[in-house]
C-alpha cells in the first residue's frame, strides 16, 4: 500500500488519483483474496488453540488422567487463565489490525471497498471476533472468576467481560480496546427463553441444542450431525450450518450458575423430552430390525 500511495502522489491531477482503482496493482483483485486467506488461517489457529485449552479445562475421568500423564493438565487455574488471556489477546490484536488495514486501504484508494470487504467477511463468518471459541473463553474466565473469587486477579483484557441481565434476559458483554465491543444476546430465538445447552451454528447464530435439533428436523438422540445438509438456519436461512456446530459448554456452565432456579426447571423439562425421544428412537430401531 505504500507503493500505491507513492504512485498516487506521483500523479499530477485529481482525476488520476480518483482513478487509482483502475491503475493500482493493489486493486487488481489480489489484495482482498490474500487478506481473506490470512484471516482464515488466523481464525483456524485461534479456534484450534482455544478448543484445546477448553478441552483441558473440561476434561474429566480417564481423559483427564491421560492429559495428566502427558503433562498437559494445568496444576492451577492461574496458568489456565493466562493461556486464555494470551488467546484472547491474540484474537483482539488481529481484529484491531484487520480493521486498521482496511481503514488505511480505503484512505489510500479513496474508496469504500475496505468497509465492503469487512461486511462480506462478517457475512461469511470469517472475522475472529465472531468465533464461538471466543465466547467460550469469555465464559471460561467468568466461571473461573466465580470459583476463585478471592484468589484470582482479573487480567486486564477480561476486565470488561460480564454476564448482564436486561429485563430478565441475559447477555454476555465485553468492552475491548479501540471501541470494540462484544454483545451476545443469550435468549434463544426459537423458544424465546434463556438458552439451555447452547450450540453455535457455523453461521454464527446460537440456539438451545434441543431447539437447533428441532429446526434441523432431527432428534436429540441422532444429534445435529445427522441433519440434512439442505436444512437451513431458522434466522439467516443459510444451508449446511448444523454438521460442524459447536456446543458451548463453558457458556452452559455459566448460565446454569447464574440462572439457578430457571435451570433446575428447564433441566427437568429437557430430561423428560430426551427420555421420550430416546424411547421413540429405540422403538423405531427395534421395529425396523424386526421388520414390523
CATH of 186-290, one of 3.40.50.1000, 2.120.10.30, 3.30.110.30, 3.30.40.10: 3.30.40.10
pLDDT computed for residue 23 by the predictor: 45
**pTM for this prediction:** 0.77
Q: Which three cell numbers stand for residue 86?
A: 494470551
SS3 30: coil
> How far apart are the C-alpha atoms of 37 and 249, rounded to whole Å?
29
**Cβ(200)–Cβ(248) under 8 Å?**
yes
pLDDT (tens digit, 9 = 90+) per residue, 168-178?
A: 889 998 887 66
Residue whose C-alpha cell reads 466465580 in the numeric block = 146
CB 234 within 8 A of CB 189: yes
Q: How far apart (Å, rounded) are the C-alpha atoms in residues 207 and 113?
A: 33
Reading the block at residue 234, the C-alpha cell is: 431458522
Domain boundaries, the chain: 2-158, 186-290
Q: How far apart are CA 276 and CA 282, in angstroms?
A: 10
Q: Flag residues of the chain having pLDDT under 70.
A: 1-29, 58-81, 147-159, 177-179, 292
Which is nearest to 184 in space by CA: 208, 206, 202, 212?
206
Digit-coded pLDDT (tens) for 5-24: 445 545 444 444 444 544 45
Phi, psi of 175 (to 5 degrees): -90, 120
- Given this model, what pLDDT does residue 290 score? 81
CA–CA dist 141, 158 (Å, integer):
8
C-alpha cell at 91: 484474537
Amino acid at each position: 500500500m505504500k507503493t500505491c500511495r507513492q504512485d498516487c502522489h506521483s500523479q499530477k491531477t485529481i482525476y488520476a488519483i480518483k482513478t487509482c482503482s483502475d491503475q493500482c496493482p493493489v486493486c487488481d483483485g489480489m489484495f482482498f483474496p490474500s487478506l481473506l486467506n490470512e484471516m482464515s488461517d488466523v481464525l483456524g489457529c485461534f479456534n484450534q488453540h482455544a478448543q484445546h485449552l477448553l478441552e483441558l479445562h473440561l476434561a474429566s475421568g480417564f481423559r483427564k488422567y491421560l492429559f495428566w500423564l502427558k503433562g498437559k493438565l494445568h496444576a492451577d487455574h492461574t496458568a489456565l487463565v493466562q493461556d486464555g488471556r494470551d488467546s484472547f489477546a491474540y484474537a483482539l490484536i488481529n481484529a484491531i489490525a484487520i480493521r486498521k488495514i482496511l481503514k488505511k486501504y480505503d484512505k489510500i484508494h479513496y474508496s469504500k471497498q475496505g468497509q465492503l470487504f469487512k461486511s462480506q467477511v462478517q457475512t461469511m463468518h470469517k472475522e475472529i471476533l465472531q468465533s464461538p471459541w471466543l465466547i467460550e473463553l469469555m465464559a471460561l474466565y467468568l466461571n473461573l472468576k466465580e470459583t476463585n473469587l478471592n484468589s484470582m486477579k482479573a487480567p486486564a483484557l477480561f476486565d470488561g467481560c460480564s454476564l448482564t441481565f436486561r429485563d430478565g434476559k441475559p447477555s454476555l458483554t465485553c468492552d475491548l480496546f479501540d471501541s470494540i465491543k462484544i454483545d451476545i444476546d443469550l435468549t434463544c430465538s426459537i423458544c424465546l427463553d434463556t438458552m439451555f445447552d447452547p450450540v453455535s451454528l457455523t453461521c454464527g447464530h446460537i440456539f438451545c441444542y434441543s431447539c437447533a435439533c428441532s429446526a434441523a428436523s432431527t432428534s436429540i438422540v441422532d444429534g445435529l450431525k445427522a441433519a440434512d445438509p439442505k436444512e437451513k438456519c431458522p434466522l439467516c436461512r443459510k444451508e449446511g450450518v448444523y454438521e460442524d456446530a459447536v456446543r458451548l459448554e463453558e457458556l452452559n456452565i455459566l448460565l446454569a450458575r447464574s440462572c439457578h432456579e430457571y435451570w433446575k426447571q428447564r433441566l427437568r423439562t429437557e430430561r423428560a423430552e430426551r427420555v421420550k425421544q430416546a424411547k421413540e428412537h429405540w422403538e423405531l430401531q427395534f421395529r425396523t430390525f424386526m421388520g414390523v
